[in-house]
Amino acid sequence: AEKSIASLALRDKKQAFIDTVGKEDNTHQHVEQLAVVCTKEALLPELVMLIRDRMQTPDYKVIVFFTTARQTQLYAELFNLMGTPVLEIHSRRSQPQRNKVSEEFRTGARLVMFTSDVSARGMDYPDVTSVIQVGLPSDRAQYIHRLGRTARAGKDGAGVLLLCEFESFFLQDVKDLPLQTRPSQPLAALAPVMPAVARALASVSDGSLCTAYQAWLGFYNSSLRRMGWTKAELVAEANDWITAVMNRAEVPPLDPKTVGKMGLKGTPGLVIGRIESGGGGGRGDGGGGRGD
């Protein structure tokens, strides 16, 4: 259709059609891609194993995408507590901080960077060996765009999509891509990393967990139709995540205004109250959920 319109406009003139997409933007058609579908409980140890595996590549350079800024922040804290230093870039960092991290990752090697979609937009990082996407991409285009951070300029690269079982429907959106899938590893295979995971979960700050819980609710609340959940099911899943997965005895309180913005007023399972100073609120992930 585009060529037909152009032909009318350029009638009787020499015509030249230029491919502005280029080979680099077709990464999703040729790069090695793996999807891992796991339980919520296995997500963190699976991610630890994946990152450790990708760090075996000489001069590795790994980008790990998360669904929200607060999730990025939480997982960066957990990995640093586990003794795996990671860079961290998202909207909760100041612009000078983001610029510094971006430049360090761009010019360095043997680095892992945790990020929200701040790093999917217009950032050109050379020699990225792996892209790992944790959680549900907003759509097919986002998955492809993130994947395009690797295998650039003729270099090798690989992509991994790590989904919880309730997010596995997304695989239908990318079924035409060369994406291999595997289930979560058996518990015995994950056992070597479990002590470090448990220690990190015991040490992570309550503030990070509170704001990540709020962001978790906000993100999936904006995807209820895709998930096929009711609001009550959303809250039940969020509460299971914070208690069973993040190993917290109690569900964090949410500010009444935040609950109202999410349209969750009166939903069973929510704890309404004031969040302690430094534990939440603010812009981005608070009301809508997708802040990056």
Share of the chain above pLDDT 70, in %: 83
Query: Domain for residue 239, yes or no?
Result: yes
Instruction: Judge if 93 and 148 occupy the same domain.
Output: yes
The reply to whether 17 falls in a domain is: no
Q: Is residue 186 part of a domain?
A: yes
Task: Please indicate, yes or no, whether residues 33 and 137 belong to a single structural domain of this protein.
Answer: yes
Whether residue 219 sits in one domain with residue 126 = no
One domain for residues 146 and 274:
no
Q: Are residues 140 and 284 located together in one domain of the fold? A: no
Contacts of 239 (CB under 8 A, 6+ apart): 251, 269
Domain boundary at 161, 194, 227, which?
194
Please, are residues 241 and 71 in contact by the beta-carbon 8 Å criterion?
Answer: no
Q: Is residue 189 located within the same domain as residue 224?
A: no
Task: Return d(Cα 88, Cα 215) in angstroms, integer.
Answer: 17
Tallying the residues shown for the chain, one arrives at 292
- For residue 51, the domain's CATH number is 3.40.50.300
Residue 242 amino acid letter: I
Boundary-marking domain end, from 194, 227, 248: 194
Instruction: Give the end of a domain, one of 194, 219, 236.
Output: 194
66 and 133 assigned to the same domain: yes
Judge whether 108 and 87 are in contact, CB under 8 Å: no
Alpha-carbon gap, residue 241 to 226, rounded angstroms: 19
Does residue 232 lie in a domain region? yes
Identify whether the C-beta of residue 77 lies closer than 8 Å to the C-beta of residue 270.
Answer: no
Q: Give the bridge partners for 130, in sequence order.
A: 62, 158
pLDDT tens per residue across span 108-124? 999 999 999 876 566 78
Q: List pLDDT tens digits, range 182-237.
A: 999 998 999 999 999 999 999 999 999 999 999 999 999 999 999 999 999 999 99
Does residue 221 lie within any of the structural domains? yes
Whether 65 shows a pLDDT value over 70: the answer reads yes
pLDDT value of residue 284: 38
| Domain co-membership, 51 together with 141 | yes
Does residue 69 surpass a pLDDT of 60?
A: yes
**What's the total number of domains in the chain?**
2
| Residue ranges making up the domain that contains 292 | 205-292
Q: Is 103 exposed, middle or buried (0-12, 13-18, 19+ CB in 10 A)?
A: exposed
Burial class (CB in 10 A: 0-12, 13-18, 19+), 85: exposed
Residues 209 and 103 in one domain: no
Note whether 219 and 75 are same-domain residues: no
